[in-house]
Structure 1
Amino acid sequence: MRIALPGTWALLGTLLAGAAVAEEHEHAVIRTLVLPEQPEAAPQRIYVKGQVVTVLRFEQDLAPLRARLVGGEGRFEPVGVVGRKVVLEPRRDLAPEEGFSLLVTLSDAREVPFLLRPPGRREHGSADQQLNVYKDRDGYEAMASALVDSEKENKTLRAENERFRKEESSEDHALAALLTAESEAQTPFKGVEHFSGADDDAELEGTVYRGKGKAAVVFKVKNLHAVRSWSMKSVRLVGVADARERSIAVRSSAAVFEPGTSGVIGLVVDGSAFLDGETLTTLRLELYRQDGLLQAIVQLDPALLGK
């Protein structure tokens, strides 16, 4: 839907009903798996995503002889065995409740089961892109691979801790938290326009705010799906002219909105984000949901920056 507003600025509020518009950046996910010692152990999970290739990379002396899906016929491209690698690619995303078995027969005659599942609430909602599979967790290659995993995890945790530290003292994040708590009277913002829309999964109501040297947007989200949770995967703020990504303060009333529940997402944009050199420019705010689909777009004009 397009909503034309009076004055010199305009808002574009769009809910993409079923349109598969993917987020531009997919996070690469490489993990280490060690085969269980007990044959009756539960199958290890592999997270897969529609039209994203997942590769299982085995040790040389475990090179797979064959691999087959159980119950996934027609849902995946033909499973490939290339050297010591097994290649998977779902034709479309798996539903939250779906899971398929992958049985891999190794060169030592063992048949190893894996469970294929959608990423769900996993970090970034990303598929596994490479899994390094080992039989001995104490072997050199397995330990080296696990060390790389640990270093990446520690780097991510350090970055998150630093982000949290900065957000604790950030005025914009404090304002976003007040908007999320529906305490706009305690902020310098004034609502200037509303928009709304719905698709099969969610109903959104949005408000655009003008502030002193800042702008803000608040989304009220109701999860309409019977069984699937809704969550915000990411938010991007880019210049319409230069596509350069800007920083934005984001707060959400909950990490996940369960079926039938509602929540609020507050976003605050500092006036400096509107600068392109010494010129003010229009910005585009993009809200992505948990499966990477673009849920809403809001166009923000510099006229939102009050005096």
Structure 2
Amino acid sequence: MAVARDRKPYVRNVYLRGNPKHQATSVYVTGEVVTVLRFQQPCDPARTKLLGWEGRFEPVECAGKRVLVEPLQDLKPEDGFLLLVTLADGKELPFTVTAIAQNKEWEWPDQQVNVFLDPESPAALRKQLDDTRARERRLEEANERHWRENTTDHALARLLKKGDMKLTQLRVRRRWFFKEEGMDLDATFLSGKGKAAVLVQVTNRDPAKAWSLAEARLRTTRPGEKAPILFGEARPFALQKDWGELAPGASGTLAIVVDKSAFTSQEGPCDLTVELYRHDGLLVGHVVLDRRLVR
């Protein structure tokens, strides 16, 4: 099963050294979601302002040591708005409010940004230690994922994702095009020696919202059974995709490769169903892999 890791609130720590007025720290936001900037001392509401916010943001609010920013809709990475925060002692801190670049699928918009003006303070040092431990965990997970995906099936999925079908022994058997709410799916079924695959072209038809994949499931399927498959056996598969988040109107490719052994359950030979779940957990599409693909 390929599953997105459960997301905790994304809290980022920022350590400002030297004269913070000489540099603007980026704050990454998303539409209709409040991002909180948290400081070590109260802010001055009268001298805290976001330039050019009218029609794009809710009014910026200061609440003690916190500044709240909420865009009315998603921003583009090239958008940048200057947020000037003034602390109670008169110190001015500039920030650039913007959006995550689409190709940085490993990053998330900020939900809270903790700002430290003294990196050597006990609170800042504790946060730096937490950051170091978090980086080590991410490196360990990336290393584990690298070895887990160092298989023949993942290599085939990577070739399919890049459009290098001619470099594989897989051949197209049939295609299936269907529409779901806000998206189009164009599925190409392939088979080869002991392998079956499905190549899915996903197009986001939502005029305003981005689309991302939270989870893909592969389960054994009885004849006539319909998705979601609740009681089928989970089967292993290789998944590769060339996108992290699809902007409105954008398309991306998803490749899934399944070994012949996956088409056998405790009850004998079986078909398999691939289920695709979007970022909010909604099942948005499914395709059935017929066991005859690996005959």
| 1:172-196 Cα shifts (integer Å, max 9, x gaps) | 1122134345235633x34222246
Cα distance in 1, alignment partners of residues 94 and 178 from structure 2? 44
Give the alignment of 1:93-104 within 5 angstroms: 93-104=74-85
Residue 79, structure 1, aligned to residue 60, structure 2: yes
Give the aligned partner of residue 174 of structure 1: 155
Give the aligned partner of residue 258 of structure 2: 269
Q: 1:277 to 1:103 in 2, by over 3 A?
A: farther
Q: 1:130 to 1:275 in 2, by over 3 A?
A: farther
> Are the counterparts in 2 of residues 191 and 210 from structure 1 also a CA contact under 8 Å?
yes
Residue 283, structure 1, aligned to residue 273, structure 2: yes
Give the aligned partner of residue 49 of structure 1: 30
Amino acid at match of 2:130: V
Amino acid at match of 2:256: L
Give the aligned partner of residue 144 of structure 2: 162
Identity across the alignment (%): 33
Give the aligned partner of residue 65 of structure 1: 44
Aligned length: 270
Cα distance in 2, alignment partners of residues 158 and 236 from structure 1? 23
Give the aligned partner of residue 111 of structure 2: 129
Q: 1:55 to 1:118 in 2, by over 3 A?
A: same
SS of the equivalent of 1:136 reads coil
Q: Which moved more, 1:245-254 or 1:32-41?
A: 245-254
1:242 to 230, 235, 239: 230
> Are the counterparts in 2 of residues 76 and 91 from structure 1 also a CA contact under 8 Å?
yes
Cα distance in 1, alignment partners of residues 82 and 118 from structure 2? 23
Cα distance in 2, alignment partners of residues 275 and 46 from structure 1? 50
SS of the equivalent of 1:28 reads coil
Q: 1:215 deviation in Å?
A: 3.1
Q: 1:128 deviation in Å?
A: 0.9
> Are the counterparts in 1 of residues 17 and 118 from structure 2 also a CA contact under 8 Å?
no
Q: 1:241 deviation in Å?
A: 2.0
Give the alignment of 1:83-122 within 5 angstroms: 83-120=64-101, 121-122=103-104
SS of the equivalent of 2:106 reads helix
> Are the counterparts in 2 of residues 212 and 305 from structure 1 also a CA contact under 8 Å?
no
Give the aligned partner of residue 132 of structure 2: 150
SS of the equivalent of 2:158 reads helix
SS of the equivalent of 1:31 reads strand
Cα distance in 1, alignment partners of residues 60 and 235 from structure 2? 41
> Are the counterparts in 2 of residues 64 and 84 from structure 1 also a CA contact under 8 Å?
yes
| 1:79-115 Cα shifts (integer Å, max 9, x gaps) | 2322312222222110232111212111111121111
Amino acid at match of 1:237: R
Q: 1:57 to 1:156 in 2, by over 3 A?
A: same
Could you tell me the TM-score, scaled by structure 2's length?
0.71
- Structure with the greater relative contact order (CA < 8 A, sep ≥ 6): 1 or 2? 1
> Are the counterparts in 2 of residues 49 and 126 from structure 1 also a CA contact under 8 Å?
no
Q: 1:58 to 1:194 in 2, by over 3 A?
A: same
Q: 1:164 to 1:185 in 2, by over 3 A?
A: closer
Cα distance in 2, alignment partners of residues 90 and 182 from structure 1? 41
SS of the equivalent of 1:114 reads strand
Could you tell me the TM-score, scaled by structure 1's length?
0.69
1:300 to 278, 288, 292: 288
Give the aligned partner of residue 18 of structure 1: none
Cα distance in 1, alignment partners of residues 274 and 285 from structure 2? 7
Cα distance in 1, alignment partners of residues 252 and 13 from structure 2? 36
Unmatched runs of 5 consecutive residues or more in structure 2: 205-209, 220-227
Q: Which moved more, 1:262-271 or 1:152-161?
A: 262-271
Residue 216, structure 1, aligned to residue 205, structure 2: no
